[in-house]
A and B are shown apart, each in its own frame.
Chain A
Amino acid sequence: GQQLNQSPQSMFIQEGEDVSMNCTSSSIFNTWLWYKQDPGEGPVLLIALYKAGELTSNGRLTAQFGITRKDSFLNISASIPSDVGIYFCAGSGSGSARQLTFGSGTQLTVLP
């Protein structure tokens, strides 16, 4: 199946710092999504990207759909303690009945 490489696997940052994480794919995706999973909960959608080159913001979060359609990044500016959690990228190509393929996740810890 399709493979997504997400990095970094974990991050420890100081409150107020900016964060960047990314995903790369072995194949072209038509849709990129970013989810956040709070401890003890299921993932929740943060941002959806549908077009190569698209740059979308949601508050302090910004995500981009790479122009090659094989990568995406998520930036979080001015991190706060509630940003703690696991962030997943997910992508969908034209095959596999448009099911989502998930990255391995980035565990974010924000230190006060």
Chain B
Amino acid sequence: DVKVTQSSRYLVKRTGEKVFLECVQDMDHENMFWYRQDPGLGLRLIYFSYDVKMKEKGDIPEGYSVSREKKERFSLILESASTNQTSMYLCASRRTGALYGYTFGSGTRLTVV
């Protein structure tokens, strides 16, 4: 069964910490995405990557960066965590051209205190 695995289900971090959220997919997909999910706001795109070492800003990139050094791994980085970054973070991947073929991970619920 194809999978997108997010390394942590729950994280609690302190304000100002640098936070790494890791995502790994085993489907050899070219495209990977990071979304954040907040009640009443749906899923908002933070960053995405078309291929290794490539990245594009989504709708809400401020306060975040990403890294894609290997095809299967896409990391989301919070340079200096703030309380307004408390949220559910979802990683997804898809094969290029397969618009409907988004596979999501189970999410990481991050709390910044």
In the complex, number of A-B residue pairs with CB atoms less than 8 Å apart:
50
Instruction: Looking at the assembled complex, report how far the CB atom of B37 sits from the nearest CB atom of chain A, in whole angstroms.
Output: 8
B106 touches A40 (CB 8 A): yes
Closest-by-CB residue of B relative to A92 is B99
Instruction: Looking at the assembled complex, report how far the CB atom of B6 sits from the nearest CB atom of chain A, in whole angstroms.
Output: 8
Q: Tell me whether A43 and B104 are in contact in the complex, defined as CB-CB below 8 angstroms, given that A1-B59, A97-B56, A99-B48 are known contacts.
A: yes
Segment at the interface with B among A13-21, A64-72, A74-82, A100-108? A100-108
Instruction: Looking at the assembled complex, report how far the CB atom of A112 sits from the nearest CB atom of chain B, in whole angstroms.
Output: 25
Segment at the interface with A among B13-21, B39-47, B63-71? B39-47
Interface SS, A side: mixed
Closest-by-CB residue of B relative to A100 is B102
Q: Tell me whether A42 and B42 are in contact in the complex, defined as CB-CB below 8 angstroms, given that A33-B100, A98-B99, A99-B48 are known contacts.
A: no
Q: In the bound complex, what is the Cα–Cα distance between A97 and B59 (angstroms)?
A: 13
Size bracket, chain B contacts = 20 to 34
B92 touches A48 (CB 8 A): no
The reply on A6 being an interface residue by CB < 8 A is: yes
B contact residues around A31 at 8 Å (CB): 99-100
A42 touches B4 (CB 8 A): yes
B90 touches A42 (CB 8 A): yes
A44 touches B100 (CB 8 A): no
A contact residues around B104 at 8 Å (CB): 42-44
Chain B contact residues, CB within 8 Å of chain A = 4, 9, 33, 35, 40-45, 48, 56, 58-59, 90, 92, 99-100, 102, 104-107
26 contacts between A and B (CB under 8 A): A4-B42, A6-B42, A9-B40, A40-B9, A40-B106, A41-B106, A41-B107, A42-B92, A42-B104, A42-B107, A43-B43, A43-B104, A45-B102, A88-B43, A90-B43, A99-B33, A99-B48, A100-B45, A100-B99, A100-B102, A102-B42, A102-B44, A104-B40, A104-B41, A105-B40, A105-B42
